[in-house]
A = this chain, B = another copy of it.
Amino acid sequence: MKTVVVRNIERADAAACKILTGLGVSTSHEALGRSGLMKPYMRPIWPGAAICGPAVTIMAQPGDNWMIHVAIEQCKPGDVLVVGVTADNTDGMFGDLLATSLKARGGVGLVIDAGVRDVRILTQMGFPVWSRAISAKGTVKATLGSVNVPVVCAGALVHPGDVIVADDDGVVVVPRLEAATVAEAARKREANEEEKRRRLASGELGLDMYAMRDGLAKAGLVYRDED
């Protein structure tokens, strides 16, 4: 495994991050052409958490949190720490001390394809974490990994500086160079949904609003009454 720390990475456009924060994971994922999602086993440790910011990435060995200390030094205000591991693992690689340190550097949250612990304190701190598991399992500091290299986290490819959008629906990765375009597409999609929501609430059917009846009939759908 490459063991390197890359400094001074390019980060995604701050304006785009701001827009995506308000729109959330599902809308961002759709605006991205239905890609970039992490697996649904990634869950927030407390409900209602919602963040958006550029990724500082870590490739770590399972059960070894040495590189998290290294990565925190590379964080700037607004960053999201993203931790991938080289084999499936649920150990508690992050707890309240690391959160205190990351928060002091301006980090806004953690996304980790492993476990997290001290979740009651993290919740009291209002520090948001999306993880694969909650586990008290302690870790070692024995083997190097890398910081700010491309990593696979929960099935998604993350480059340093990519936008991480995370909320109750999960986590999506928006490539850095597409952030502005995706933010604009997401904004339009959301505006469009407001009108739809109003019509559906008034009782109009999706079948009519989306003009689906012809397509369904052509595909062969038949209706019949119960015998």
A interface residue count range (under 10 / 10 to 19 / 20 to 34 / 35 or more): 35 or more
B72 in contact with A6 (CB, 8 Å): no
B6 in contact with A168 (CB, 8 Å): no
A37 in contact with B135 (CB, 8 Å): yes
- Is A155 located at the chain interface by the 8 A CB criterion? yes
- Is A219 located at the chain interface by the 8 A CB criterion? yes
Instruction: Give the number of copies in the complex.
Output: 6
Contact with B along A20-50 (1 / 0, CB 8 A): 0000111001101111010110010001101
Which chain B residues border A182 with CB–CB below 8 Å? none
- Is A15 located at the chain interface by the 8 A CB criterion? no
A142 in contact with B144 (CB, 8 Å): no
B226 in contact with A100 (CB, 8 Å): no
Known A138-B34, A141-B212, A196-B97: A156·B167 in contact at CB below 8 Å: no
Contact with B along A59-91 (1 / 0, CB 8 A): 001110010011011000000000000111111
